[in-house]
Amino acid sequence: MRHETRTFVAGQWVESRGEALHLVTNPATEEPLARVRSSSRADVDGAVAAARDAWPSWSRTPPAERAAHLSALSKALAARRDELGSLITSELGAPLELSKRVQAGLPVAVLGSYAALLADYRFEEQVGNSLVLRASAGVVAAITPWNYPLHQVVAKVAPALAAGCTVVVKPSEVCPLSALLFAEVVAACGLPRGVFNLVLGSGPEVGEALATHAGIDKVSFTGSTRAGRRVAELAARDLRRCSLELGGKSACLVLDDADLARAIAAGVAGAFQNSGQTCSALTRLLVPRERLDEATELAVAAAATFRVGDPLAPATRLGPLVSASQRERVRGFLVRAQAAGARFACGGPETPAGLERGFYVAPTVVVGADPAAEIAREEVFGPVLCILPHDGDEHAVALANDSDYGLGGAVWSGDPARAERVARTLRTGQVDLNGGKWNVQAPFGGFKRSGLGRELGRHGLEEFTELQSLQR
């Protein structure tokens, strides 16, 4: 078992001084992978001090030079994609192909996108007699989750560095190993000392120390809505700027003129990717009432293609959940849903046959739930899809918008103009039209309890800037 006692501060590896030890477990085998020592408050102070020392010089570094650093990081990360994919599969349980393509591949694309963005991004503009500047926000605390452990780090680090900020990253203690590997890449690429710093530990210990630290100018957090509220409360004590990317209960609206088979297959895939451990997962499938039975049959057939099992096996499309506690949380939702009158068209809370070892949950399609029921309203964060019938466009939109969340969504229609009209009425941050592809340059974030602010692209960069106007 790996024993990790280092953090990365001021361009070098230093020994952590915390007392807590966090066990990282392979969710497919339940075997221990690593024991990681938490950072102490003194370690956090040192990391913030290093970032503060580095900030004046980095914020004045020309954008072209910052872009060159980001490009170098992207290329170095790409060279280690297979290694990263294997590492993330071992700590998270995502199927190996998904880990290589998405978990390791997406951060490469995000870094490259910011290197390209800086080529022509204007940090100042003339407005009347004023010169309006986008100044670096300062020192950033980036607190990231376990479900996309490297992407979420890079989705904060890349725009922050592009904007001239320096960062202190705290990854989830559940899946910290890919963040440690990223720090190795940073060290090898020669990023100036103190521009990137890494501390380790839990949210209550290390995350809260960062969110309340006097040396932090901006907090960027991704995680649960409950934890996001806590971070926002802590940051607000000193009116510290905060952006939050939180939970979701996204709806896939299938209109009556849609290609039902294509829409259902895509909706199921949007619900089950990464074992459903995706904040923007399309976990509510809204279908015309008169086609509910047909849609259910199609969803069950699509779910059957998500073979659950060993994430290293080439045929596997659905790996385990990240931990025993996460598996029990998902099972709890399913047990309560059944007790409330819903039924399972496939799957359910029982352990999949032959997978008694590992934190597995079968791909599950829930039907017959009341739209007001817990299973149809709360974020389950597992391979669980809830099918709900609608009685036309207005009813579908009403069901979709009747949510505390507003992160993602999808609309399917045989008429692209109709799909767009419906999408414009949804109270959610992103909507895919007829299978629209992911775009790393588009802003990602949500309405309502899904958070504050946006990540990715130009809008993500601007989250790490302050506006200043010079009147002439």
Q: List, by residue number, the catalytic residues.
A: 245, 279
CA 8 to chain centre: 23
Place of tokens 């029982």: 350
The sign of the CA dihedral 336, 338, 344, 350 is positive
Cα pseudo-dihedral 282, 287, 291, 294, rounded to 10: 0
> Distance (Å, rounded) from C-alpha 153 to C-alpha 171?
7
Place of tokens 């039902």: 260
Got the DSSP string for 159-226?
Answer: HHHHTT-EEEEE--SSS-HHHHHHHHHHHHHTPPTTSEEE----IIIIIHHHHT-TT-SEEEEES-HH
Residue type, 166: T
Q: How far apart are the first and last CA of the chain?
A: 63
456: enclosing H helix or E strand: none
181: number of CA atoms within 13 Å, CB side? Answer: 23
The sign of the CA dihedral 137, 140, 144, 149 is positive
